[in-house]
Chain A
Amino acid sequence: EDQVTQSPEALRLQEGESSSLNCSYTVSGLRGLFWYRQDPGKGPEFLFTLYSAGEEKEKERLKATLTKKESFLHITAPKPEDSATYLCAVQASGANSKLTFGKGITLSVRP
């Protein structure tokens, strides 16, 4: 059974204080690992897809990395507008394979 564990559950940062969010996973053949951002009362918004160990992707202050067992979402010099819940999900290989989501990490950035 595919599993995704995200840590910590919640993270409070001061504006400008860089940190990382962790996503540990077990999957029977990784097809893709996805990061989403979710604002309160809204649907998840796609951020990144990572396909293989060693891959990295960046978008503004966010950088996602992938190893064979975990992914990190690094946030550099965060701003209050980065406050949100960040979701990680994995898709196993195979036809019509579905996403398995973690519980999310709630990030709060104080000005």
Chain B
Amino acid sequence: NAGVTQTPKFRVLKTGQSMTLLCAQDMNHEYMYWYRQDPGMGLRLIHYSVGEGTTAKGEVPDGYNVSRLKKQNFLLGLESAAPSQTSVYFCASKDPIPGLAGEEQYFGPGTRLTVT
């Protein structure tokens, strides 16, 4: 049981290049999330998905797109990278249990992206 995995671990892009970050989870979770973490700031939600085939915008969605074609995978795309997108990106997943007041999210190890 690997939990939440992210690919790649590190990447350097030039301004204007595109790339896709892959998140995979083997816990059969319904919900998946993409966050970015920058120094001096809390984790900020980029996009999320409440099930296969669904996506929704979070707090900072501009410049990113996502897809959830399979339940276990959640892809984050950068169409034209900008230096402001230099960050550490985390994927998370959870299973909303009916009747429970709150549910913890399980995080992946992160992808460190630098845009020059």
Contacts and interface: CB of A to CB of B under 8 A. Distances in A.
Interface residues of B, number: 24
Contacts of B101: 31-32, 51-52
Size band of the interface chain A makes with B: 20 to 34
Contacts of A68: none
Nearest to B9: A41
Contacts, number: 58
Contact of B102 (A45, A51, A87, A104): A51
State the majority secondary structure of interface residues on A. strand
Given A43-B90, A44-B90, A98-B48, A87 B104 contact: no
B106 A46 contact: yes
Given A44-B107, A45-B107, A96-B50, A32 B43 contact: no
Interface of B: 4, 33, 40-45, 48, 50, 56, 58, 90, 92, 101-110
